[in-house]
Amino acid sequence: MESSFTLGRVRGIKIGVHYTWLLAFVLISWSLASGYFPRQYPGWGGGLYWTVGVAAALMLFASVLAHELCHAFVALSRGLQVRDITLFIFGGVTNITSESENARDEFLIAVVGPLSSLALAGAFWLAAQTVPNDRSPLDASLSYLALVNFSLGVFNILPGFPLDGGRVLRAVLWGTLGSIGRATRIAALVGQGLALLFIAYGFVQILEGDFFGGLWIGFIGWFLNNAADATRRQSRLQEGFRGVKVSQVMQAEPLSVSPGLPVRVLVDDHILGRGARALPVALDGRIVGLVSLTDVKRLPTAEWDRNAVGAIMTRPPLKTVSPREEASRALQLLIDQDVNQLLVVEDGAIVGMLSRGDMMRFLQRREELGLDGDARRR
Ligand SMILES: [Zn+2]
């Protein structure tokens, strides 16, 4: 998830906020100021409810950030790279760019999340006990934060991927089964089951008259289901590429075109004629860009004769990969960078092109030959 704006950096980790966070912030402040606090603590006066509501909502997000920072710090201490933390409508996401190398690291990174929320709940509860007046706004905020952090801890310990508890389950399965692929798929399946329970519970709440509460739970279920489903599919794909190198999947020695070639000729001869979706653009044997179907589509058809490839191509830096790289890693790059193809480069020279289509066709052929990825588990 791309963050909409950056709050700052902690130990090199970018802390960002997605625009949906603002919606959650407004909703939570509003429900605290006009529902929860007036109901629990009558007689404060309207202005005070809003002050306490906004302050408690801010502290809730600080708690979520602390939870994510705990994941990030453990990941850093295990030698992994953490790119950023993004806060969004359903909480926070810590973006760890390298994969855990063993089940133990994965377990520690995941388990620290719910533990930190439970520890925060305990700290807020203890702080609330030190406040003499238990009807005061300070005591009310601290008690609320204890309650909400406790709920966060319990919610995150549920064993469905992508929740922390699901990651813990995956780590345990990974350790016992010895296959991260199978462990991921089982944990994601449990996650989807859990998500469907959330959706069903949301429906029941709506039928019982709590429209917004039900809708909210339903949305969380929907979000969890999507995330678990995507993880399961991706894991299946990666399994299919186990032990396969980029050089085995790529199109070797791709034809290149010159930047002076008219777009019309590119379309007629290469895209329609040869079924190419992307081509390197070379001048005097040097790669100067990459032209793809997407670049062509941006130009109106009437302009195809008047423009050359050089005017529409994607210029460097281009996304590249080594032919010796694992194909599953290249697939991850295609997904993470949101591109359709990578240039395969060795010692500064182009040796091939690797597209999403090449990867899908490779898997299809393997499937037709009965070479299922699961048959070669490590
Ligand atoms: Zn977490």
Distance CA 232, CA 194 (A): 15
Query: What pLDDT, on the 0 to 100 scale, is given for residue 145?
Result: 93
Residue 153 has pLDDT above 90, yes or no: yes
Distance CA 347, CA 325 (A): 14
Distance CA 121, CA 129 (A): 12
Question: How many residues are listed for the chain in this entry?
Answer: 378
Ligand 1 centre from 89 Cα, in Å?
14
Ligand 1 centre from 163 Cα, in Å?
7
Ligand 1 centre from 166 Cα, in Å?
10
Other Cβ atoms within 10 Å of 130 Cβ, number:
9
Residues 6+ apart with CB under 8 A from 5: 16, 17
Ligand 1 centre from 62 Cα, in Å?
14
Residue 376 has pLDDT above 70, yes or no: no
pLDDT tens column, 314-359: 888 878 888 888 888 888 888 877 788 888 988 877 888 888 888 8
pLDDT tens column, 24-82: 889 889 988 888 888 888 888 768 888 889 999 999 999 999 999 999 999 999 888 88
Closest CA to 85 of 12, 28, 191: 12
Task: Find the farthest-apart pair of alpha carbons in the chain and give their distance in angstroms, rounded.
Answer: 82
Residue 260 three-state SS = coil
CA 168-174-176 angle, 5° bins: 105
Residue 88 three-state SS = strand
- Peptide linkage before 280 cis (omega within 30 of 0): no
What percent of the chain shows pLDDT beyond 70? 97
68 is catalytic: yes
Q: Which residues sit opposite 282 in a β-bridge?
A: 287
More confident residue, 184 or 285: 184
Which of 2, 68, 208, 326 is flagged as catalytic? Answer: 68
Ligand 1 centre from 69 Cα, in Å?
9
Q: How confident is the model at residue 377 (pLDDT cuts 50, 70, 90)?
A: very low
Ligand 1 centre from 117 Cα, in Å?
9
Q: Is the dihedral of CA 362, 367, 368, 371 positive or negative?
A: positive
HSE at residue 104, side-chain half, CA atoms within 13 A, is 3
- Domain positions in the chain: 5-240, 246-376
Q: Calculate helix-pair angle for 356-368, 327-336, nearest 10 degrees.
A: 140
Query: What pLDDT, on the 0 to 100 scale, is given for residue 378?
Result: 38
Q: Which two tokens stand for residue 261?
A: 């070639």
pLDDT tens column, 208-259: 988 888 898 898 899 889 988 888 887 877 777 878 888 888 888 888 888 8
Q: Which of 152-161, 246-255, 366-375 has the highest mean pLDDT?
A: 152-161
pLDDT tens column, 263-315: 888 888 888 888 788 888 888 877 888 898 888 888 888 888 888 888 888 88
Distance CA 24, CA 20 (A): 7
Q: Which two tokens stand for residue 14?
A: 């970018």
Question: 246-376: what CATH class?
Answer: alpha beta
